[in-house]
Structure formats: C-alpha cells, structure tokens
C-alpha cells in the first residue's frame, strides 16, 4: 500500500520524504488555506522535492471551469494529479481530462456507487472519505471494503485512495483490505513508526552496551 501525506506543509512532507516512507501527497483547499501561501508556490515547492504524486484540487463547480483549472494545474508539474469533486460536473470534467491523459483524483466520495462512477469515467484515483463517515456514525471502512471488491470484480484500473484518515487503525485496516493508497495527516504517519516497546528495548540495549568491555 502506498503511503501519502494529506498536507500542504512543506516541512512535514520533506521530513517523511527524507526518511523514505512517502509515496505521495494529497492537498485540498482547506489544507492549502492553512498554509497562508499562494497555491502555485506551494505546489511548485512540493513537486520540486521529487514527490511522484501530488494531488491538487480544482475549486470551480462547473465542468468548463474544472477543465480550465485542471489543464492549468497539470502544466505546473508532471507529478500533479487533478482533484475533481464527485458531482455531475466533476464526473464530466474527469472523463474529458482523463481522455486528454490527465490523471484525476475524484474526491468527496462517500458511497460505493459514487466510486463505481469514478472508475467508469476513468479516474486514476478515487478518494472515499472514511473519517467523515465515522463522524456521522457510519463505518467508513466498510465503504473501502465495498469499493475494493467492486473494482476487483471488474478489474478497474482506478486506485482506491483511502482519505479522511484519523488514526493508525484506519491505516492498518485499509492495508488489510488491500486498498492501493492511504493518505493521512503527518501526526498519523508519525504514529506508524512509534511503539513504546521499541523505545524501551532500544534504551535497554544501549544501557547494556555500556557494560561491554571496550578497547
Ligand atoms: O484530503 C481529503 C481528506 O483526507 C480530508 O480529511 O480529516 O478533513 O476529513 P478530513
């Protein structure tokens, strides 16, 4: 499973990229707004790191507007995936952009039928938002199970990108189901690394090493 960071914060991206566990980055208008910087500048800096997949979202709500934004965004860098929302206009824009060779990440997906439609119009990624489903007392991960099964049934090439991830168990469950990608906040990726027994074990090894005769 590919691991993406769901952030527009360059330092966070740089840190995980340097460790070598990062496969891509997803952004959205809310995450970009938090940075207080120009969208294009942020995208140029992220792509300049060499990140192979960077999702950038359109904000137009009509197909023509999405097409204009999507075509502009893809010119910024070959690693850009254009995020289009799961609306009729977004589906139409995705089909056209995909036919032009642009890789589209269909976002704001909350049902398996929506995911089916995303695959049918040729989206490269589909982004079901599991945390927001959990927030309204639905089990978000069941949606991932359904989408993975449907895509396998028909051998769709669209990759399942688990989004709106809130904690490490989401990542674990997504991996067990066989989702293609999981995007997560920096704090969640940090927690994937950590285990208290690792810290205790290392401290004990280092303490014991002091007892080994040197020289
Ligand atoms: O980037 C889309 C998605 O991951 C947003 O997550 O936490 O705002 O529901 P969240």
Q: Would you say residue 52 lies in a domain?
A: yes
Answer whether residue 70 shows pLDDT above 90: yes
Which residue's entry shows tokens 């709500």?
Answer: 61
**For the segment 149-177, what is each residue's pLDDT rounded down to a tens digit?**
999 999 999 999 999 999 999 999 999 99
Contact of 69 with 43, CB cutoff 8 Å: no
Count CB neighbours of 135 within 10 A: 12
Residue 127 lies in a domain: yes
* ∠ CA 181-101-149, rounded to 5°: 35
Examine residue 113 and state whether it is found in any structural domain, yes or no.
yes
3-state secondary structure of 28: coil
Atom of ligand 1 nearest to the CA of 26: 1
Nearest ligand 1 atom to the CA of 127 is 2
The verdict on the CB of residue 29 being under 6 Å from ligand 1 is no
Residues with Cβ within 8 Å of residue 65, at least 6 apart in sequence: 58
Which secondary-structure segment (H or E) carries 2?
A: strand 2-6
| Cβ-proximal residues to 11 (8 Å cutoff; 6+ apart), any chain | none
Is 83 a catalytic site residue? yes
Q: How far apart are CA 154 and CA 161, in angstroms?
A: 18
What is the distance in A from the centroid of ligand 1 to the CA of 125? 15
Model pLDDT for residues 103-130, shown as the tens digit of each residue: 999 999 999 999 999 999 999 999 999 9
pLDDT for res 215: 81
Instruction: Please check the confidence at residue 189 and state whether its pLDDT lies above 90.
Output: yes
- In the prediction, which pLDDT does 84 show? 98
What atom in ligand 1 is closest to the CA of residue 131?
9
Q: Residue with structure tokens 């909350």? A: 110
pTM for the structure as a whole: 0.96
| Residue 111 resides in a domain | yes
* CATH number of the structural domain spanning residue 181: 3.20.20.70
If one counts the domains in the chain, the total is 1
167 domain residue, yes or no: yes
Spot the catalytic one: 2, 44, 83, 211.
Answer: 83
* Structural domain range at position 114: 2-209
- Domain contains 214: no
- Is the CB of residue 164 below 6 angstroms from any atom belonging to ligand 1? yes
Residue percentage of the chain with pLDDT more than 90: 99
Check pocket membership of 28 for ligand 1, CB cut-off 6 A: yes
pLDDT number for residue 194: 95
* 215 falls within a domain: no
96 falls within a domain: yes
């Amino acid at each position: 499973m590919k691991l993406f960071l769901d952030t527009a914060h360059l330092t966070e991206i740089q840190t995980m990229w340097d460790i070598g566990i990062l496969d891509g980055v997803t952004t959205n208008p809310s995450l970009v707004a938090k940075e207080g910087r120009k969208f294009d500048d942020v995208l140029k800096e992220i792509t300049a790191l060499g990140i192979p997949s960077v999702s950038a979202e359109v904000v137009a709500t009509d197909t023509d507007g999405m097409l204009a934004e999507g075509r502009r965004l893809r010119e910024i860098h070959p690693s850009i995936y254009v995020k289009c929302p799961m609306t009729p206009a977004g589906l139409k824009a995705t089909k056209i952009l995909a036919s032009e060779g642009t890789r589209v990440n269909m976002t704001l997906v909350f049902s398996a039928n929506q995911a089916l439609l995303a695959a049918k119009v040729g989206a490269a990624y589909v982004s079901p938002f599991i945390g927001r489903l959990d927030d309204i007392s639905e089990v978000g991960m069941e949606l991932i199970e359904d989408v993975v099964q449907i895509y396998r049934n028909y051998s769709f090439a669209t990759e399942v990108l688990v989004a709106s991830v809130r904690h490490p168990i989401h990542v674990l469950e997504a991996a067990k189901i066989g989702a293609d990608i999981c995007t997560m906040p920096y704090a969640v990726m940090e927690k994937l690394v950590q285990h208290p027994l690792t810290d205790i074990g290392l401290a004990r090894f280092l303490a014991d090493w002091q007892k080994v005769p040197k020289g």
